[in-house]
Amino acid sequence: MLAVRIRRGEGPQGFQTFAVPRRANQTVLDVVTEIQRDQDPTLSYRFACRVGMCGSCGMTVNGRPRWTCRTRVAQVAEGESLTLEPLRNLPVVKDLTVDMEPFFTKWRDAHGYFEPGETPADDFATVLPDSAERQEVDAGIECINCGVCYAACDVVSWNPDYLGPAALNRAWTLVNDVRDRGQAERLAAVSTDAGCHACHSHMSCTEHCPKGLAPTFAIAGLKRETARAALRRFRRKA
Amino acid sequence: MIRAAQRRPGFAAALLHRLSGVALALFLPLHFIALGTALQGADRLESFLGLTRNGLVHVAEWGLVSALALHMALGLRILVIEWLSYRERTAIVVSGCVAGSLAFGLLFLLSGA
């Protein structure tokens, strides 16, 4: 049997423990689902696809943020116990469910959306698959918005305004999109006090990203690009 | 307290970088005091330097030289990540920085400086 401690309230007393049978190839999400279906239907958590595509089942498993649908119990159980908590750095709605709104608001604040410009382009843009820009985009485009990097980030916990790794990673993919017409505004948006320059390169995002992305290097790219933009402005004035 | 999510080489590097920075910041006033005594003549400087012949101070100096080397190595690591986009193997690079710095400190200790 597996002893599963689930955070359902504040403080050290806020845990409830459930006993769940061990099964072959069981995932952490399977465990939570089994508890909700067989033991306590009031347990709240979020999931959708169960196959690592939707990014909605993020939780803190034994102290580390993870996607639970692709995390096997055998891989993370300490002895015969699991401790499950909601993702860090986000407001808790109930039990293991967090409010993702601040995460997505920052996505917008970092101009993490394509900006086509006032007038449509005359022709299709030619983007060679092996061009440097396309390679940078490829390295960061597979983000599924699970919020694991955001929960792992120490800077977000120190400064709740910090845009966070996911939003900045998305901004970096767009900075490298040759079709985008909102670059100046985007670089201004990501270089505020709570933007890319606040990153301390702890690499927690890169070490925890379940998709194996490296937001640290995307943020480093933004640091370089904003520095170049500042240098260009300085030269124009001089 | 260090959370489970922070028991990672990247965080260890950041922690060591800051702690070695704090150690260097604490040392600087002592360094300036030592330099200041030189202004008051060779005897004052010599008597101050006499204090550094103590074994405990020697160990502290070893720590300081190691801290300086570590701070520089980890600082260079950050610059290489951020400016050269070097995709490092974090655990190996951070371990190398720590080992190299300790070796440098040991060299200082053995040189009898």
Measured between beta carbons, the chain B residues lying within 8 angstroms of A202 are 10-11, 13-14
Mean pLDDT score of chain A, rounded to an integer? 95
Task: Determine contact, residues A130/A51, Cβ cutoff 8 Å.
Answer: no
Give the per-residue pLDDT at B5. Answer: 67
Contacts of A88 in chain B (CB under 8 A): 5
Predicted confidence at residue A237, as pLDDT, reads 87
Does residue B65 lie in a domain region? yes
String of b and e for A211-229 (b: at least 16 CB within 10 Å)? eebbbbbbbbbbbebbeee
Q: Report, as an integer, the average pLDDT of B14-24.
A: 93
Which architecture does CATH list for A2-98? Roll (3.10)
pLDDT of residue A46: 97
Query: Which residues of B fall within a CB distance of 8 Å from A214?
Result: 87
Question: How close does chain A come to B45, measured CA to CA in Å?
Answer: 40
Which ipTM did the prediction report? 0.74
Model confidence at B2, in pLDDT bands (50, 70, 90)?
Answer: low
* Banded pLDDT at B34 (limits 50, 70, 90): confident
pLDDT, average across residues A110-120: 92
- Residues A166-194: what's their mean pLDDT? 95
Please indicate, yes or no, if residue B92 is contained in any of the structural domains: yes
pLDDT, mean of residues A93-111 = 97
Asked if the model's pLDDT at residue A158 lies above 70, the reply is yes
Q: Is residue B45 part of a domain?
A: no
Cα of A27 to nearest chain B Cα, Å? 20
Q: What are phi and psi of A38, to 5 degrees?
A: -105, -25
pLDDT of residue B113: 57
Q: Which domain holds residue B96?
A: 11-24+55-111
Domain ranges across chain A: 2-98, 101-237
Asked, colleague to colleague, whether A2-98 and A101-237 share their fold, the answer is no
CB contact under 8 Å between B85 and A221, yes or no, is yes
E-strand ranges in B1-113 read none
The answer to whether residues A213 and A206 touch, using CB atoms and an 8 Å cutoff, is: yes
E strands, chain A, are 2-7, 15-20, 58-61, 64-67, 81-85, 92-94, 97-98
CB contact under 8 A, B6 and A206: no
Q: Determine the average pLDDT of the residues in A41-66.
A: 96
Instruction: Report residue A145 as tokens.
Output: 């918005």
Domain at A101-237, CATH class: mainly alpha
The total of other beta-carbon atoms located within 10 Å of residue A1's CB is 9
Of the pLDDT bands very low, low, confident and very high (cuts 50, 70, 90), residue B38 is confident
Q: Is the Cβ of B6 closer than 8 Å to some Cβ of chain A?
A: yes
The count of domains in chain B is: 1
Q: What pTM was computed for the model?
A: 0.88
Largest pairwise CA distance in chain B: 54
pLDDT level of residue B1 (50, 70, 90 thresholds): low
